[in-house]
Amino acid sequence: MTPALPAWYTRPHRPSVINRTGADGRIWRVTVIVPTRNEAGNLRPVLEVAAPYADELLVVDGHSSDDTRQIAEAMGASVVLDNGRGKGDAIRVGMAHATGDVLVFVDADGSHDPRDIPALVQPIIDGYADHVSGSRMLGGSDELHATLHQFVRLFGSQIITLSVNYTQNVRLTDCQNGLRAIRRDVALALELQENITTIEQEMVIKSVRLGYRLGEVATHEYVRANGESNFRVLDVWPRYVRSWLYYLLLWKPQRAQVDASMQRGQEAEAQREENLPQRRGDAEASALPVSAPK
């Protein structure tokens, strides 16, 4: 019997630069999308560090009353307005405006380190994943472990992740992180509906249920650099519960969505077959103690 490969064998190393030449030979363009609402005090360092990774830097603003939009424009970002419905709406607006092949979502409040961007997008460009989420359970969080309020968020989040794992036969650790990368065609095929931060779990659950390849990388979540959190768990928990149960149990994919995901799966499989000899060669040439199947 062929021995199983160690889990890290198919996982790329953690890159610090993006190699934009894909497994398919084409050059991939990266759009970094930053949703903002009154983030004038936080936005500058986020855009500065994200910009070198971005072929397109897109700020989706929620009608900020401070200088957020002016700062974004001065930093060279394109700025579009959302429809005033919340962060989920902003994510959809960003997807609709983006021109890149892979989209990365980074919060503007300093909670996410843009230096995680290569680790998120490289598995997609290299053809191992369609959607990669940063995981706070693997990388740690300064916003989930200290207070009662944070405990409630963490507990709810873990219940949701557990239910996705057991019903969909996956082993995810974080379904609600705002830091993620996704192929643009896959993002559009999900036909997202949520208007608030419940869009994160919608993206994860729909990706899994449609059979897209979802990966996770360890990313750390930092405390918001300045200003107050917009998140009020007591106000939004019913919407979290509703959307969790709806997408997991009641939502039925449209025929076109199933066809699109099956086509993507076939393309990925064909690509994998094509690249396998090269990957085995790479592994044998590396210093790592890799045992590839003969």
Ligand X SMILES: Nc1nc2c(ncn2[C@@H]2O[C@H](COP(=O)(O)OP(=O)(O)OP(=O)(O)O)[C@@H](O)[C@H]2O)c(=O)[nH]1
Q: Which residues bind Mg ion (CB under 5 A)?
A: 109, 111
Cβ closest to ligand X, residue 62 vs residue 114: 62
Q: How many residues bind ligand X (CB under 6 A)?
A: 22
Alpha-carbon span 270 to 36, nearest angstrom: 39
Identify the bridge partners of residue 217 per DSSP, sorted by sequence position: 134
Q: Which residue is nearest to Mg ion (CB)?
A: 111
| Closest separation in Å from C-beta 239 to ligand X | 13
Cβ closest to ligand X, residue 60 vs residue 124: 60
Report if residue 110 touches ligand X, rule: CB under 6 A: no
| Closest separation in Å from C-beta 64 to ligand X | 8
- Phi and psi torsions of 105, nearest 5°: -110, 125
Q: Which residue is nearest to ligand X (CB)?
A: 62
Alpha-carbon span 207 to 189, nearest angstrom: 9
Cβ closest to ligand X, residue 197 vs residue 207: 197
| Closest separation in Å from C-beta 135 to ligand X | 15
Q: Figure out which of the listed residues 31, 111, 157, 219 binds ligand X, where binding follows CB under 6 A.
A: 111
- Among 30-38, 49-57, 118-126, 280-288, the segment contacting ligand X (CB under 6 A): 30-38
Q: Which of 138, 101, 111, 112 is nearest to 18 (CA)?
A: 101
110 touches 37 (CB < 8 A) = no
Break the chain down into helix, strand, coil percent, rounded to 5: 45, 15, 40
The interface partner of residue 100, options being Mg ion, ligand X, none and the CB cut-off 5 to 8 Å by kind, is none
Cβ closest to ligand X, residue 94 vs residue 123: 94
Report if residue 36 touches ligand X, rule: CB under 6 A: yes
| Closest separation in Å from C-beta 107 to Mg ion | 5
| Closest separation in Å from C-beta 145 to Mg ion | 15
175 touches 165 (CB < 8 A) = no
39-98 residues in contact with ligand X (CB under 6 A) are 39, 60-62, 82, 86-87, 90
Residue with the two structure tokens 């996410």: 112
Beta strands in 98-179 (DSSP E): 102-105, 131-135
Report if residue 123 touches ligand X, rule: CB under 6 A: no
Beta strands in 24-125 (DSSP E): 30-36, 56-61, 78-81, 102-105
Cβ closest to Mg ion, residue 111 vs residue 135: 111
Alpha-carbon span 109 to 36, nearest angstrom: 8
Helices and strands per DSSP (H, E), number in the chain: 10, 7
Strands lying side by side in the sheet with 214-218? 78-81, 56-61, 30-36, 102-105, 180-183, 131-135, 214-218
The interface partner of residue 36, options being ligand X, Mg ion, none and the CB cut-off 5 to 8 Å by kind, is ligand X
Contact footprint for ligand X (CB under 6 A):
35-37, 39, 60-62, 82, 86-87, 90, 107-109, 111, 143, 178, 197, 224, 229-231
